[in-house]
């Protein structure tokens, strides 16, 4: 069974949200350019691609149906800590932003063309976000039985 697993260092950035930027075209009409809302998305996806290329080595793109596992580790906000360490009222999981589906979309888009040819090949997906010391993402991609 073909399995590729690796860690991506850094604070994960979400994809999916976009913002429209109006501009005036040369012919005088109004146009709209769509850009990602996250300013960190481009750098995060580049980091994911670098880690994926290192993990894949000289392997060809994976084909057929794939299973993907993602574990996003996010740093806790400073407000979770008091004078004596972690506050008792601090939530155990990052149930707020960024959205898990948008974090997942950013990684799958970055893996397209590096690990597999199309993210439509992913037929099984397990993803979770947790708090940890530093931001990172663990990625596991394997061929589905």
Give the model confidence (pLDDT) of 55-85 as tens digits: 999 999 999 999 999 999 999 988 888 899 8
Beta strands in 10-93 (DSSP E): 18-24, 30-36, 66-75, 81-82, 85-86
Counting Cα atoms < 13 Å in the Cβ hemisphere of 3 gives 7
Task: For residue 38, give its domain range.
Answer: 3-143
Q: How many domains does the chain have?
A: 1
Give the model confidence (pLDDT) of 101-124 as tens digits: 999 999 999 999 999 999 999 999
How far CA 73 is from CA of 24, 94, 115, 124, 132, in Å, comes to: 42, 9, 22, 21, 6
Tokens of 63: 């084909």
- The model's pTM: 0.83
Q: Are strands 66-75 and 136-143 parallel, antiparallel or unpaired?
A: antiparallel
What CATH number is attached to the domain comprising 51? 3.30.1330.70
Give the model confidence (pLDDT) of 7-33 as tens digits: 999 999 998 766 677 778 788 888 777
CB atoms within 10 A of CB 10: 15
């Amino acid at each position: 069974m073909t399995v590729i697993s690796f860690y991506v260092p850094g604070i994960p950035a979400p994809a999916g949200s976009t913002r429209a930027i109006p501009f005036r075209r040369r012919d005088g009409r109004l146009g709209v350019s769509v850009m990602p809302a996250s300013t960190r998305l481009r750098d995060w996806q580049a980091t994911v691609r670098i880690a994926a290329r290192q993990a894949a080595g000289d392997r060809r793109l994976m084909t057929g149906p794939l299973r993907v596992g993602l574990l996003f580790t996010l740093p806790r906000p400073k407000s979770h800590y008091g004078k004596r360490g972690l506050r008792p009222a601090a939530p155990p999981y990052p149930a707020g932003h960024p959205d898990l589906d948008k974090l997942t979309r950013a990684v799958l888009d970055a893996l397209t063309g590096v690990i597999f040819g199309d993210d439509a090949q992913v037929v099984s997906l397990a993803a979770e976000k947790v708090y940890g010391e530093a931001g990172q993402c663990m990625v596991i991609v394997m061929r589905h039985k």
